A and B are shown apart, each in its own frame.
Chain A
Amino acid sequence: MTYLMIVRVPEDAAPSPEESSPEAWVEDVTRRGIHLAGHRLRPPSDATCMRVRDGEALVTHGPFVEVAEQIAGFDLLRVADLAEAIDVAAAHPVARFGALELRELAPHEDDPAGGANAVLDGDATYLLLMGREPGSPAPAVEDTGSPVAWIEEMATRDLDRGGSPLAPPDGAVTVRVRDDQVLLTHGPFAELAEQVDGYNLIDAADLDVALEVAAAHPAARHGVIEVRPLWPF
């Protein structure tokens, strides 16, 4: 099973570098062979949102919804089951002051790669987060449009660095550790219904290219795609 682990950090958190450094954690999960990828993201103030409505691309500044625990990074985990994913998340340093949201990947059924493209080789520069408009229900599958043509075009242009739709948020588990107790929240993150429906890593040269790529994705037509630059290594 492959999980996207969304790392969420409270805006006012000021942990010491020792408290928040994931180095030891990354070393451990890499050694165990369960870490497919991981990226730290630039802060929400560097985010840009893309929506396409009536054929018009609408660009706005900022993340797609402001919540107390903003997305600060993500990791892709290949684990035996949800229990292992929860153990791995609870061991992450951010669990002690932030939250780790676990979302199983749910590859699109007409994806020719059948989910093998969760992460691809090569450097990525931006993460696209396919989001739902806050408060709106999940669109029907027949309304979302297939991203296959988009994936093919991105592959041809050598921009695709992997991605996947996520399983519905009802199955999400959020992991926090407080006073050495592991706290689990089932269901979508917070009541705000900030819901990520999928992600895609891309290697775009600059923001205009990233926005053009986001506008071409079918998810931009019914939801919102947040374009977040990755923190360079």
Chain B
Amino acid sequence: MALLNAPRDDDAAPHRPAGAAASAQAASALARAFADEWGRVVATLVRVTGDWALAEDAAQDAFASAALRWERDGVPDRPGAWLTTTARNAAIDRMRRDASQQRRIRDHAVLARDTGEATAPLVDVEEGDEVQDDRLRLVVTCCHPALPLDARVALTLRTLCGLTVEEIARAFGTTEAAMSKRLVRARQKIAHARIPYRVPRGPELGGRLPGVLAVLYLLFTEGYAPTGDAVVRDDLTGEAVRLTRVLAGLVPDEPEVHGLLALELLHGSRRAARATSGGDVVPLDEQDRSLWDAGLVGDGLAALGTARALGRPAGPYVLQAEIAACHATAATPAATDTGRIAVLYDELTRIQPTPHVRLARVMAVAAADGPDAGLALLPDVAGDLAGSYLLPAAEADLERRTGRLERAADAYRRALDLTPPGPARRFLERRLGEVTGVE
């Protein structure tokens, strides 16, 4: 969880009137508030001030002030409302301090009066429906297709999750300066190109949701299968799940949102079984299923049930969640309903025929009808995956399953020629060792 930059009270001063217990209570309330409220506070402040950088700074101010005051005065009854009000006041202070901002305050008041909209005034920030809407506004705006994809993800992490620029830079393997520039440019584009801070209505929202879901899924996969050396990055997967849950609450009638949540929870349930302590990948059929998190499986199946109950044709996330559910509910690899998985992949290939999906379908057919059936289909996907290690790696795995170990070894070697260092490479090296009898 992204608590790294939650203002913490590391002050070891001896004069703590409330005592250590109250201090611990305040710290945990603050940590919880940061996870639950950061996005809400920023979302409201963006609406009220129209200034993204100011909104983030003011939210930061509010959490810093909570770190000092909650311990001293006790945790407020409604931490979210307290933080929003404090952030609003901090924003006003910051605007006042900057004399050049005076005009903007006036303009804003004028604008509010002229348009007669409730977008307005720097007063009357309360919890409730309006605040809920603000967060949806924020995520829809962060994920606007007019922003570059990497900036959408970064902006979502910064504004909705409260990750620091340094944390986001680390997550994407870039420097803090480069990430900071990317965020500044994204905020500038929002301001200058006038990307509206608004939730589109009806069908237009439906048109924008796939883009929002794609960003959340990218966030999840970046955490679950990072491009770097780590096998899992819990902070990113955790943020993705949290945001998807929030989104599911905000647009409860969209099956794909529940489908994505289910997919994330079901994948996430295998987290402990997916890697060895040494950081090596463990394939699905070799995982110790007792390590799967039954609670998350249950939550994932429940989310999938919600999606199904909406009674609409399954979209790509619901279908992938259905596939994940087939695995999650099988007590052993042999008990897996491979026939159903192959059918689900046929359907997924029909609506989302990307090279990766098509390759996964081939592997699903192989699991259901035998490795030779898969090998027969491999040439169909070869063109799209030329140059990727995935193709020879798939061939190697299928040959291994047929028992033709020499052919498997040859394919593993071809795959390794194309695989960059990292967990995938170590996995293929291990397999090559197995089929050639070299440990």
Contacts and interface: CB of A to CB of B under 8 A. Distances in A.
Interface string B335-362: 0000000000000000000000000000
Interface in B128-178: 144-149, 151
Contacts of A227: 193
A229 B192 contact: yes
Q: For chain B, which range describes its interface: under 10, 10 to 19, 20 to 34, or 35 or more residues?
A: 10 to 19
A48 B196 CA distance: 14
Contacts of A61: 145-149, 151, 189
Contacts of B146: 48, 59, 61, 207, 211
Contacts of B151: 61
A10 interface: no
B194 A125 contact: yes
Contact of A207 (B188, B193, B200, B207): B193
Contact of B192 (A46, A57, A205): A46
A156 interface: no
Nearest to B195: A207
B140 to A, nearest CB: 11
B97 to A, nearest CB: 25
A115 interface: no
Nearest to B146: A48
A42 B190 CA distance: 12
Given A45-B188, A46-B188, A46-B189, A208 B148 contact: no
B185 interface: yes
Nearest to B207: A57
A42 B195 CA distance: 14
A46 B192 CA distance: 7
B147 A207 contact: no
A168 interface: no
B188 A208 contact: no
A227 B200 CA distance: 20
Contact of B185 (A45, A48, A57, A206): A45
Interface in B198-225: 198, 200, 207
A207 B195 CA distance: 5
B189 A208 contact: no
Interface string A180-212: 000000000000000000000000011110010
Contact of B193 (A42, A57, A60, A205): A42
Contacts of B189: 45-46, 61
Nearest to B189: A46
A59 B195 contact: no
Interface of B: 144-149, 151, 185, 188-189, 192-196, 198, 200, 207
Interface of A: 42, 45-48, 57, 59-62, 125, 205-208, 211, 227, 229
4 A-B pairs with least C-beta separation: A59-B145, A48-B146, A206-B196, A61-B148
